[in-house]
Every structure is written in C-alpha cells, then in structure tokens.
Chains A and B, each alone.
Chain A
Amino acid sequence: MLDFVQQLVSGVALGCVYGLIALGFVLVYKATEVVNFAQGDLMMLGGFFAFTFIGMMGLNYWLGFAGAVAAMALFGMVAERVVVRPILGYPQFSIIMVTIGLGYFLRSVAGMIWGTDDLKIDTPFSQGVLRMGSLVLAYDKLSVIAATMILCTLLWLFFNKTMLGTAMRASSENMLAAYYMGIPVKRVVSVVWAISAAVATCAGVLLAPITFIHSNVGLVLGLKAFPAAVLGGFGSIPGAVVGGVLIGVIESMAGFYLPEGGRTSRPTSCCSPCCS
C-alpha cells in the first residue's frame, strides 16, 4: 500500500510535468488553432536558460526562475512573430511542419551552446523530504504538483474570466470575426505564445530536479505530453493536466508493477484512436 502511494505521488508529479507541457500545447491551440510541435523544445530551452541564470551566473533560484520565464516569454513572442505569423491561417500542415522545423533548429542550437551532457539545477526543493508516518515524499515532487495546480488555476481563470482570455478564445473560433469585433488579433496571438513559452519554462525548471536537462529532453517529453493534451480534449486547460497526470501515473505504475519490457510507455499508441 505504501509503495502504491509512493508510486502514485511520483506518477502524479511526473504527470504534472507532462500536464504543464500539454498546457502549452492547449494554450496555443485554444488561441490560434495551431499545434505547436516545438513546445517540448521551448521547455528544453527554458530549462537551459534557467540553468544559465542559476547554475552558471549564480543567481538566486527564484530570481533565476523569474528571469528564465521572462526571457522565454520574449523568445516565444519573437518565435511567433518570425515563424508563425506569416503563415497563420494556412493549412494546419504547413504550421505543423514549421514548428517541427523550429524544434529541430532549437534542439541542435541548444546542443551546440550547452553541450550534450545532462545538466542539473540546484533547487531549494532538491534535498528535503516530507515525512507523514512511514510515508516519505520528496519536496521536489510535491513542488511540481503544487506549481501545476497554481498555474492551471491561474490560466483557467485567465481564459474564462478576463477580457484578454475571452479575446483569445474568440480569435481561435473565427479570426476574421474577431477582427470585426475590434480584437487586436495579432497582439493576442503574440501574447498567447509568450504565455505558452513561459508555462513551458516553468515545466522545464520544475522538471530539472526530477529528470535532467539535455538537448533532447524536449522531443522525448513533448511526444509524451502531446497525447496528454489529446486525451484531455485539446481545447481544455484542466483536461490537459488531467490527461498528463493520467499518463504519468500509468507510466509510473507500469514501471513498478509490470515486468521488464512493459516499461517504456508509448502513450501515443494507446490514446490516439479515441481522439476524433
């Protein structure tokens, strides 16, 4: 039973990271109906930024975290402006290819700059554990869960309660009609890319103590987070997190209870037939 709870918590923590990356997918999709296949790579880049600020420049953890989020938000805006905006509205397929290309590029460049080794960020949560009776929970995992809850709630409120969030939903339904209603669609799209890059950065930084950061982490986790978004219904913020947690828990349980071989989870395989 104790093992079960342990596995459950670590599964939920891992799942929250998937959920956070999936949130990025969902945000961009919700606002522009574009699927950003470079989302995982934005997360990877965010992790590297945080590493640069915290590990190399020796900034305070929270300061470095904030710096990385700000830098990546800016980066997300620039990426949107340069790569996505010229073809916004063209067939899905072109945009998928552009973001795949962007992902390739970011992965290689990150590999060139930061090398191909695994990097680790020291966080305030890296060490301690929370003891409840005989149950031992690591702070780093709890911190991921807490941060995901907070971010998810904030984003849900943002999308459903604020003007800007409503504008984003409107521009995804029908861009031309949104223009007619006086919504500055271009700016809205910029902002949504900034937010999704910032969320990806949070995922990257929170992930750093659990799995290390290397240049391919985005591809691997992106491929797992993507089905999480699909599972949650692609347009739904809580759905993405639930989907992520589901996949994280399944993966963690399968790793613990199934024999060797069932361990590599291929969530894409199991959930795509149900997504039409």
Chain B
Amino acid sequence: MRFMFKTDYEDDIKLFPHSGYIVTYGVLLALLLIAPHVLSSYLMSQLVFVCIYAIVGVALLILTGFTGQASLGHAAFLAIGAYTAAYLQKYNVPFPVYFLAAGLLTGIIGAMVGFPALRLTGIYLVIATISFALIVEEILARWESVTHGNEGMRVKALSLLGVTVPRDSPTFYYLCLAVLVLTIVGTLNLLRSPTGRAFVAIRDSETAARSMGVNVALYKVKSFAISAAITGFAGVLFAHKLSFISPEMFTLQLSIEFIIVILIGGTFSLHGAVLGAIFIVMIDPFLTYLKDDMPGIIAGIAAAFGAGTTTAGNIQANVAAFASLNGLKGAIYGIIIVLFVLFEPLGLYGRWLKIKLFFQLFPLYKRATFKRQKIYVKSERNR
C-alpha cells in the first residue's frame, strides 16, 4: 500500500498524484491509439460514439455532478451544436471555425437557460430543462428555412485543413479522441481552479457557499454555459458521425440516456462519464450478441447437464423467443437504472474504488466504509 504525504497545496491539486497514474493512463492512451488497427470497423464506430457520449457525460458531470444542478435537457444542447455545424457547413465555413462557433453559440444559449434556472431547484429545475428541450425540438421541426424541419439535414464529410475525413476513418476517431482528452484535461483543470471549487461548494451547500463569498448566481450560470458549450462541441462530432440529423433524434429519450451515462458511471468523478459512456454504447452490441448467441449457449449448458436433445432444442427455442421479444431492451434499461440507483449509487467508478480499497487494505476492509447513512425526508417546500 502506498502512502501519500501531501506537504503543500500543489501536492493536493496535481493532475497525476503519483507516477502510477502516468503509467496507467499512458498505457490506456497507447491502447486507444492502436485501437483502429486492431478492432473491427463496427467496434470502431461504437468507440467513436463512446467518445461523443463521454464528452457529453463530462459536460453533464460539470453541471449535475459538480454543481448539483440536474438537467434533462442536454439533448437540446447537443442538437443546437449539431445544427449549427450543419448550417454553417452549407456556407463552406471551415471546420475549426464552425466547431468553435457551435460551442460558443451553445454556451450562450446555455447561459440563457441558466438565468431562469437560478430561481429553480430540484424537481422544478428538471421540469424547466425538460421543457427547454421540448421547445428546442419544436423549433427545430418548425424553423424550416434553417433546419429543413422534419426532413432533416444532411451533413457533409468533415474536411480538416483541406483533407476530407470520412466519418468511419481512423482520423475521425482520433479527432473525437483528441476532443475527449482535451475536454477531460480542461475539465480537470477547471475543477481544481477557484471556479471548480466554487461549483463544488454550491453543490454541497448553497447557503455555505454564499456565506463564504461565492457568487452563487454567477457560478451557476457559468456552470450551465460551460456544460452547454462542451455539449455543443460533442454535437458537432455527433452530426458528422451520423452524417444526417433530424429533430426526432434529439428527444427526451436521449437526454435520459445522458443522465444514465453519468448515473451508471458515477456522478462524483470524471471517470464516471467515460465508464458510463462505454456501458451505454456497448450495451447495444452486447444485447444483440445475447440475442444471437445466448440461446445456443444456454441449450449447450442444458445438454451438458444431461438434458435430452429435444429438451435442449425446446430450451433453445424458448430462450430465442424470449430474447427477440420487442420491449426487452427497454425492460433491461429500466432494470439497470433501478438496480444502479438502489444498490450502486456511486456507479461503476464507485465499484472500482471499492474493489481497489479492498485490495489496498486487504484483511481490514470493512463493507461499512461505503455504507449510506439513514436520511429522513424533510420538506423542501418551506425553504
């Protein structure tokens, strides 16, 4: 077990607390860099989606995880980013310009959403962001001169410095990865700056933050703006990856998916965004795999345990019928959300920390370390 002695403030805010981190993340980055030469094109495409979802996850973490402001409207920010890119691209604006413009515009709109949200807390903030998302969806469908309404918009392949980057090329993947890494590093820097500390203070106690001299209104708006801007960047990449965007892609469903990303990953650390993104993107191929291969495997197991050929065949047919039921994906989604909130509120990253702590403290680990305290409901109405 490693003991870390922090002797000054610089030690406390180091990006890499010790050399182990550099090695681990170096290896991870190297693996990600060689991934296009190893993985199949389908998995590469999923990996690009992991990057995009993780960027949105980081954005949502800044707002929800670190500032404590829930949002069910991030699909709208993503849509604004995507549509800005698609619209500017028609006028041959170069990629870096519209990439930044999309982020800027989304950030401004995020700040504008942040202002009315200052007065709202908890459930009402959730409603306000849902309605913002519905308004944006409706505007996208109706403002036909710009967005082509429900017909959607075609997004041309990205061209960077005169080179065309097709959406399934390794270069596009590297671009997404670069944006993700930059976002994460930028966010880490943000979080160890006074701004980030102010965010966390607001999350933990607004009253305490205010009494320590934090301008709560300003920092909430900042948090909204930053979160929205990052989501806008992700929106540009999303538009290029899909190469076609229409209003019905950016529904409440997508916002909920983003929330699931950080909920499953863990809302207290940036690792959570990435882990959650991997989970939510990879669940699709996994379910498909289950659907195709699971019946055979289960029948094989049954046969190994001495079931007759007909029984095994029956089992296979039944499992296959069950696996191809229509709503199975929704049901599994629902169960996963419920189970995570009930049993793993710290998310996948929390589980990883528990496992790590178990080995660090080996014979002395106590389950009670992460036990939740009993909390009683106290009305928020009379605040």
Contact = CB atoms under 8 A, between A and B. Distances in A.
Interface of A: 32-33, 35, 83, 86-90, 92-94, 96-98, 100-112, 116, 171-176, 179, 215, 226-227, 230, 235, 261, 266, 268-269, 272-273, 275-276
Nearest to B329: A108
A105 B330 contact: yes
A269 B119 contact: no
25 contacts: A33-B380, A33-B381, A92-B122, A93-B64, A96-B126, A97-B259, A101-B334, A101-B335, A102-B338, A104-B330, A104-B331, A105-B334, A106-B334, A108-B328, A108-B330, A171-B377, A172-B377, A173-B379, A174-B376, A227-B127, A268-B131, A269-B135, A272-B124, A272-B130, A273-B116
By Cβ-Cβ distance, the 3 closest A-B pairs, closest first, are A105-B334, A101-B337, A108-B327
Secondary structure of the A side of the interface? helix
A90 B263 CA distance: 14
A112 B342 contact: no
A83 B134 contact: no
Contacts of B331: 104-105, 108-109, 112
A269 B134 contact: yes
Interface string B232-276: 000000000000000000000000100110010000000000000
Given A108-B334, A111-B326, A89 B70 contact: no
- The number of chain B residues touching the other chain, given as a range, is 35 or more
B328 A105 contact: no
A104 B342 contact: no
A78 B375 CA distance: 21
B233 to A, nearest CB: 25
Nearest to B343: A86
A190 to B, nearest CB: 15
Given A111-B326, A268-B127, A104 B333 contact: yes
A86 B342 contact: yes
Nearest to A267: B131
B342 A276 contact: no
Contacts of A230: 124, 127
Contact of B376 (A87, A110, A176): A176
B353 interface: no
A98 to B, nearest CB: 5
Interface string B363-380: 000000000101111111
Contacts of A98: 337-338, 341-342
B345 interface: yes
A30 B142 CA distance: 38
Contact of B128 (A32, A100, A104, A273): A273
A96 to B, nearest CB: 6
Which among A174, A175, A227, A269 has the highest number of chain B CB atoms within 10 Å?
A269
Which among B142, B372, B379 has the highest number of chain A CB atoms within 10 Å?
B379
Nearest to B118: A276
A174 B383 CA distance: 12
B64 to A, nearest CB: 8
Secondary structure of the B side of the interface? helix
Given A83-B338, A98-B338, A102-B334, A276 B327 contact: no
A240 B378 CA distance: 23
B175 interface: no
A88 B328 CA distance: 28
Which among A32, A33, A86 has the highest number of chain B CB atoms within 10 Å?
A33
Given A92-B122, A98-B337, A103-B334, 19 more contacts: A32-B377, A33-B380, A89-B376, A90-B375, A96-B126, A100-B256, A104-B330, A104-B334, A106-B334, A108-B326, A112-B327, A173-B381, A179-B376, A261-B142, A268-B131, A269-B135, A272-B127, A275-B120, A275-B127
Which among B124, B260, B377 has the highest number of chain A CB atoms within 10 Å?
B377
Contacts of B135: 266, 269
Given A105-B335, A275-B124, A97 B341 contact: yes
A32 B381 CA distance: 12
Nearest to A34: B377
A254 to B, nearest CB: 14
B378 A176 contact: yes
Which among A89, A101, A268 has the highest number of chain B CB atoms within 10 Å?
A101
B160 to A, nearest CB: 38
B4 interface: no
A269 B134 CA distance: 7
A144 B312 CA distance: 52
A225 B328 CA distance: 27
A112 B335 contact: no
B297 to A, nearest CB: 22
A165 B252 CA distance: 35
A276 B256 contact: no
Nearest to A179: B376
B151 to A, nearest CB: 16
A263 to B, nearest CB: 12
Interface string B120-140: 101110111011001100100
A269 B131 contact: yes
A174 B379 CA distance: 6
B325 interface: yes
Interface string B335-359: 1111001100100000000000000
Contacts of A94: 341, 345
Contact of A97 (B120, B123, B142, B263): B263
B333 A268 contact: no
Contacts of A110: 327
A92 B121 CA distance: 10
